[in-house]
A = this chain, B = another copy of it.
Amino acid sequence: MTLDPTLFGEIDPPQRLLMGPGPVNAHPRVLRAMSADLLGQFDPEMTGFMNQVMALYRPVFGTANQWTMLIDGTARAAIEASLVSLVEPGDTVLVVNFGRFGLLLTEILTRLGAKIEAVSAPWGEVVPLEAIAEAIEKSGPKVVATVHGDTSTTMAQPLEGLGDLCKAAGAYLYVDACATLGGMEIAADRWGADVVTGGLQKCLGGPSGSAPITISDRAAERIFARRHVEQGIRRADISDGAGPRIPSNYFDLAMIMDYWSEKRLNHHTEATSMLYAARECARVALGEGLEARFARHRKAGAAMTAGGRAMGLTVYGDDAHRMTNVTGVCIPAGLDGEAIRTAMRAHFEIEIGTAFGPLQGKIWRLGAMGYNAMKHKVLLTLAALEACLTAEGHAVPLGAAVPAAIAAWEAA
């Protein structure tokens, strides 16, 4: 039964530049933070680190929400935790749907037994606020759920004013900001969003596996009304709510808030190394300054777009609502997109992204986010793409992409 341990060697991944839609290369400080030794989950230093994480993620989310913490899982785990805790079976939920991750919200909500209404835009566009307002009026939802930046289409949904619409209609607003958190402004309080979730592996420059979340007091109240403490750990100072039990234990945000509160009610065993990573991601972002960080992503997106166009490629989607950190570039007719991706990896150790669903085989997705939203990495990617396109026999104006990208970087 014992396997020869030499069968697989030491971990030694290739040194590859990840310029797709995420995950991207983690910041070295984040990787180093994970090698700190573990602590007992209720040791005072550990609960101190948890409190620091809460404080560090409030500015990252643009919020003063007390309940700002981590879900132990990938970004998708935080989406499910939000929806399963916020939505009661039979509730009407309005999904703002403009890409694959809008479909994911629908998919998760279907499994939870929600009644789903959708207000959709064609892929490559966003949903106008008026259309959302109309859909809210028509469907009377308990929750409105939207993605902020949908990497499948590279579009960012404007969210200014949406919270007011929701509040006026008695609805809660959920926002999936996985792909933009730390790269574009997230203004949970100003938007009036009740629950916003993210991930580390995009603009925050960390590994996937821990997902930041923030919850408004109003949403927390609704969720605590569904609190049911586990039989093995009931305490006199924590009483159950009158609402229907949340159908998941792991994703029960009432229990997770109790765990992160001074009550420290035992739930899961906090993923310590991932918490160290999340803490360092936020320290790196706040150390740079959020405004500077957003500007860096804006410059990177502008440079990638300008460089692609200078090569004669069509940039996918609506210019007015582009995410700054990922750019869709149309694969020229007659060209095998996967052959180019393979050449990029084989010759240059650069990964660029493929696409999903209706865009599969139609666009590449060029990311520049977190630690990779840097001028030299954008330029290297464009220069390598030019060489690979040329080698595959697709004529591009030689030497045009890089100077166009530099000019766009400087102008943005």
Contacts and interface: CB of A to CB of B under 8 A. Distances in A.
A14 B39 CA distance: 8
A233 interface: yes
A88 interface: no
Contacts of A213: none
Interface stretch (A100-108, A162-170, A401-409): A100-108
A209 B38 contact: no
A361 interface: no
A73 B73 contact: yes
B31 A35 contact: yes
A201 B74 contact: no
Interface in A71-126: 72-77, 80, 84, 99-101, 103-104, 106-108, 110-113
Contacts of A351: 40, 43
B1 A59 contact: yes
A201 B274 CA distance: 13
A271 interface: yes
B356 A233 contact: yes
Nearest to A19: B40
Interface string A1-24: 111110110111111101010111
B39 A13 contact: yes
Contact of A207 (B110, B245, B274, B287): B274
A197 interface: no
A8 B76 contact: no
A391 to B, nearest CB: 21
Contacts of A230: 103-104, 107
B55 A39 contact: no
Interface in A230-282: 230-234, 245-251, 266-274, 276-277, 279-280
Give the interface SS of chain A, mostly helix, strand, loop or mixed: loop
Contacts of A154: none
B38 A20 contact: no
A15 B2 contact: no
A89 to B, nearest CB: 10
A180 interface: no
A327 interface: no
Nearest to A246: B111
Given A8-B283, A43-B16, A289-B2, A207 B273 contact: yes
A271 B80 contact: no
B59 A233 contact: no
Contacts of A18: 38-40
Contact of A112 (B14, B32, B49, B247): B247
Interface string A167-210: 00000000000000000000000000000000101000001111
A400 interface: no
A8 B52 contact: yes
A225 interface: no
Contact of A277 (B22, B55, B273, B357): B273
A274 B274 contact: yes
A113 to B, nearest CB: 8
A23 B41 contact: yes
A362 to B, nearest CB: 15
Contacts of A132: none
Contact of A283 (B5, B12, B345): B5
B56 A357 contact: no
A284 to B, nearest CB: 8
Contacts of A274: 207, 209, 271, 273-274
Given A23-B41, A77-B268, A103-B231, 12 more contacts: A2-B291, A3-B55, A14-B39, A14-B45, A18-B38, A18-B39, A24-B38, A26-B38, A31-B273, A84-B248, A112-B247, A273-B273
11 contacts: A8-B56, A11-B279, A13-B38, A13-B46, A20-B40, A25-B38, A72-B74, A80-B249, A107-B231, A111-B246, A208-B271
